[in-house]
């Protein structure tokens, strides 16, 4: 084994440094396998309940009327995530699109959107109009209000209560930390926040940005009172197989609004061919629980290694997990770049290329991204990225299998070690 790692470029010192942590983490890994088992059963049960059959994988073209595979998959998602309905489509191009769709279809001019958990994900700034952008909610007369988290990361309940007015229509809660160094919220915490705001105003629509959160816990936000959950199929629920797509699941009325916005008033869910990708949506959902467990093992392994070397990590090595993202604060651009180069060098695809910082559409700062993925940009596959701004945090996520995740982290450590950025004892 050691020899093969050496052939891949991992020095013995780096390998044995990693081994001690794998040994220590045995019990935690067993817990993750239990959650995966629970969620695997949940997915199979939903597929059985809706009689998924070989005909579902045929796909349609053109208008896509009576697409059995598409309609059945949407029922499977609804059941699996405890919603009344779902919209799961290759025509939803990414997570940002799914979120924009959920917001723009459920808000009307004069309404106000509230973010009670601080600044939303970078790409949503342009959707909302925090950074002026063509077609933003602001251009359509939807106003925005934000309540920042308290120092330490808790919800500022008093300020949230003060921010809810008669204009407030929709509350957007981001489960995952995204490109921030705040904690990720558990489903239970999100549930408390939802009960709080609904007590003040029962008609509020509570939307959870569920990106990176699916299948991490046994419960999903719809079970804790959310009206809509929204995510990307090239993250957790696509299981690494879906080549494109996004989903919205939740209350029937919210989903209908989204469907009429995605296609057209009058058409809604009735059109939208599933083309040749529908089988990968099913099979990806089937794999998702174990893929998420592999990604979590990789994240926890990384947290323990980098924490031991004195880098601030969020979550820390022993904390419980609510998403698959691991933030490692590397303190310098050199270390951030070396870390990303290691992840890239461990990939099955494009291991020979070197990632460079670039101006990525939708982001305010330069971003460096490492990914050698089968699906371009897929972040359920082993990947690391981070904006080139202090504190130079790398956001590390994914890993379709644990052995690949482990190799990636060891390779990142190798690059830092080679550049003299860390000392190993
Ligand atoms: C990835 C992500 C998004 C945006 O998804 P894209 O597919 O990159 O457009 C939004 N919110 C969170 C929390 C995310 O992690």
Q: What is the DSSP string of 36-59?
A: HHHHHHHHHHHHHHTT--GGGGS-
Residue 87's beta-bridge partner residues?
248
Closest to 208 in 3D by CA, of 169, 176, 237, 160: 176
Domain boundaries of the chain, sorted by first residue: 2-40+288-418, 59-285
- CA–CA separation, 185 vs 106, rounded Å? 24
**Which pLDDT tens digit goes with each residue over 338-375?**
999 999 999 999 999 999 998 887 777 889 999 899 99
Dihedral-angle region of residue 211 (phi above 0 means left; psi in -120 to 50 means alpha; beta otherwise): beta
- Cα of 22 from ligand 1 centre, angstroms: 30
Ligand 1 centroid distance, CA of 234 (Å):
10
pLDDT of residue 182: 83
Q: Name beta bridge partners: 369.
A: 385
Q: What is the pLDDT of residue 20?
A: 95
Alpha helices per DSSP H over 129-249 = 157-163, 187-200
209 CB near ligand 1 (under 6 Å): yes
Name the closest-CA residue to atom 12, ligand 1.
211
The predicted-structure confidence for 299-321, as pLDDT tens digits, reads as follows 999 999 999 999 999 999 999 99
Instruction: For residue 13, give every residue at least 6 positions away whose Cβ sits within 8 Å of its Cβ, in sequence order, or none.
Output: 417, 424
Q: Is the CB of 123 under 6 A from ligand 1?
A: yes
Dist. CA 51–CA 176, nearest whole Å: 33
Probe residue for ligand 1, chosen from 120, 122, 123 as the CB with the greatest number of ligand atoms within 8 Å? 123
**Which residue, by CA, sits nearest to atom 5 of ligand 1?**
95
171 CA → ligand 1 middle, Å = 17
Query: Is there an atom of ligand 1 within 6 Å of 342 CB?
Result: no
CATH architecture type of domain 59-285: 3-Layer(aba) Sandwich (3.40)
Between the CA of residue 286 and those of 36, 220, 379, what are the distances in Å? 11, 17, 18
Per-residue pLDDT, 341: 95
Ligand 1 pocket residue status of 211, Cβ below 6 Å:
yes
pLDDT digit string (tens) for 113-165?
999 999 999 899 999 999 999 999 999 999 999 999 999 899 999 999 999 99
pLDDT value, residue 178: 78
Which one-letter DSSP state was computed for residue 231?
E
Cα 256 to Cα 233: distance, rounded to the nearest angstrom: 20
Ligand 1 atom at minimum distance from 97 CA: 9
pLDDT above 70 coverage of the chain, percent: 100
Radius of gyration of the chain (CA): 21
Which ligand 1 atom is at minimum distance from the Cα of 123?
4
Instruction: Name the band, by pLDDT with cuts 50, 70 and 90, for residue 11.
Output: very high
- Rounded to the nearest 10°, the torsion over CA 402, 403, 408, 410 is 110
pLDDT at site 132? 93
212 lines ligand 1 (CB under 6 A): yes
Q: What pLDDT was estimated at residue 371?
A: 87
Is the CB of residue 223 less than 8 Å from the CB of residue 196?
no
> How sure is the predictor about 177, in pLDDT bands with cuts at 50, 70 and 90?
confident
Task: Write the pLDDT tens digit of every residue in 241-256.
Answer: 999 999 999 999 999 9
- pLDDT for the residue 363: 73
Q: Which of 228, 233, 256, 192 is nearest to 88 (CA)?
A: 233
Does the pLDDT at position 195 exceed 80?
A: yes
Q: Please give the model's pTM, rounded to 2 decimal places.
A: 0.95
pLDDT tier, 260 (very low <50, low <70, confident <90, very high otherwise): very high
Looking at residue 152, its pLDDT comes to: 87
Top CATH class, 2-40+288-418: alpha beta
Q: Does residue 210 have its Cβ closer than 6 Å to ligand 1?
A: no
How many Å lie between the centroid of ligand 1 and the Cα of residue 96? 6
Buried b (16+ CB within 10 A) or exposed e, 154-179: ebbeeebeebbeeebbbbbbbbbbbb
Residue with CA at minimum distance from ligand 1 atom 6:
95
Q: Assess whether pLDDT exceeds 80 at residue 181.
A: no
Alpha-carbon gap, residue 419 to 340, rounded angstroms: 13
Q: Whose CA is nearest to atom 14 of ligand 1?
A: 211
Predicted confidence (pLDDT) per residue in 27-49, tens digit? 999 999 999 999 999 999 999 99
Q: What is the pLDDT of residue 122?
A: 87
Task: Tell me if 94 CB under 6 Å of ligand 1.
Answer: yes
Residues 69-112: tens digit of each pLDDT: 999 999 999 999 999 999 999 999 999 999 999 999 999 999 99
Buried b (16+ CB within 10 A) or exposed e, 353-369: eebebeebebbeeebbb
Nearest-atom index, ligand 1, CA of 379: 1
At residue 170, the pLDDT reads 98
What is the CA(247)–ligand 1 centre distance, in A? 12
Residue % of the chain over a pLDDT of 90:
93
Q: Cβ(378) to ligand 1 under 6 A?
A: no
Spatial contact of 191 and 225, defined as CB atoms under 8 Å apart? yes
- 95 within ligand 1 shell (Cβ under 6 A): yes
174 lines ligand 1 (CB under 6 A): yes
- What are 208's strand-pairing partners? 173, 229
Mean pLDDT of the chain: 96
Residue 209 to residues 99, 243, 249, 280, 283: CA-CA distances in angstroms?
7, 20, 11, 23, 23
Instruction: Indicate the pairing of strand 246-250 with strand 112-115.
Output: unpaired
pLDDT at residue 421 in the model: 94
CA pair distance 421, 357, nearest whole angstrom:
19
Q: Which atom of ligand 1 is nearest to the CA of 246?
A: 7
As a whole number, mean pLDDT of residues 168-180 equals 91
Q: Is 396 left (phi over 0), alpha (psi -120 to 50) or beta?
A: beta
Is 383's C-beta closer than 6 angstroms to any atom of ligand 1?
Answer: no
Q: Are 367 and 337 in contact (CB under 8 A)?
A: no
Residues 274-307 have pLDDT tens digits of 999 999 999 999 999 999 999 999 999 999 999 9
> DSSP character for 232?
E
Distance 411 CA to ligand 1 centre (A): 26
The whole-number average pLDDT for the span 246-270 is: 98
DSSP codes, 60-117: --TT-TT-HHHHHHHHHHHHHTT-SEEEEETTS-SHHHHHHHHHHHH--TT-EEEETT
CA of 92 to the centre of ligand 1 (A): 13
Atom of ligand 1 nearest to the CA of 234: 7
Model confidence at 26, in pLDDT bands (50, 70, 90)?
Answer: very high
Indicate whether residue 117 lines ligand 1 (CB < 6 A): no
The answer, yes or no, to whether the previous bond of 391 is cis (omega within 30 of 0) is yes
| Gap between the Cα atoms of 297 and 358, Å rounded | 29
- Count CB neighbours of 207 within 10 A: 25
Average pLDDT over every residue of 209-222: 98
* pLDDT tens by residue, 374-396: 999 899 999 999 889 999 999 99
């Amino acid at each position: 084994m050691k020899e093969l790692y050496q052939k891949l470029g991992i020095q013995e010192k780096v390998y044995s440094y990693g081994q001690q942590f794998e040994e220590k983490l045995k019990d935690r890994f067993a817990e993750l396998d239990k959650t995966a088992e629970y969620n695997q059963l949940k997915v199979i049960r939903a597929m059985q309940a809706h009689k998924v059959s070989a005909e579902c994988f045929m796909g349609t073209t053109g208008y896509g009327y009576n697409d059995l595979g598409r309609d059945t998959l949407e029922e499977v998602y609804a059941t699996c995530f405890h919603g009344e309905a779902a919209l799961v489509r290759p025509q939803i191009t990414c997570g940002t699109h799914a979120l924009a769709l959920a917001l723009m279809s459920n808000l009307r001019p004069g309404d106000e959107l509230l973010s009670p958990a601080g600044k939303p994900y970078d790409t949503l700034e342009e959707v909302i109009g925090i950074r002026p952008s063509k077609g933003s909610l602001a251009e359509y007369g939807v106003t925005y209000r934000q309540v920042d988290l308290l120092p330490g990361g808790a919800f500022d309940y008093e300020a949230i209560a003060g921010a809810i007015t008669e204009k407030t229509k929709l509350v957007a809660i981001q489960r995952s930390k995204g490109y921030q160094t705040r904690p990720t919220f558990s489903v239970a915490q999100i549930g408390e926040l939802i009960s709080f705001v609904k007590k003040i105003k029962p008609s509020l629509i509570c939307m959870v940005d569920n990106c990176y959160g699916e299948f991490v816990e046994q419960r999903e936000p719809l079970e804790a009172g959310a009206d809509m959950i929204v995510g990307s199929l090239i993250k957790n629920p696509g299981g690494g197989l879906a080549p494109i797509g996004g989903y919205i699941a939740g209350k029937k009325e919210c989903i209908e609004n989204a469907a009429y916005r995605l296609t057209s008033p009058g058409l809604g869910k009735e059109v939208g061919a599933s083309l040749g990708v529908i089988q990968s949506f099913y099979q990806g959902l089937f794999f998702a629980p174990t893929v998420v467990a592999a990604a979590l093992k990789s994240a926890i392994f990384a947290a323990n290694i980098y924490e031991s070397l004195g880098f601030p990590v969020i979550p820390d090595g022993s904390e419980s997990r609510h998403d698959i993202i691991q933030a490692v604060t590397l303190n310098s651009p050199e270390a951030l770049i070396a870390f990303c180069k290691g992840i890239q060098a461990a990939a099955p695809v494009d291991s020979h290329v070197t990632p460079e910082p670039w101006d990525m559409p939708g982001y305010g700062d330069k971003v460096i991204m490492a990914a050698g993925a089968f699906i371009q940009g897929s972040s359920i596959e082993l990947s690391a990225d981070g904006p080139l701004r202090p504190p130079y945090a790398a956001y590390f996520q994914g890993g379709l299998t644990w052995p690949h995740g482990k190799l990636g982290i060891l390779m990142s450590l190798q690059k830092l070690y080679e550049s003299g950025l860390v000392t190993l004892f």
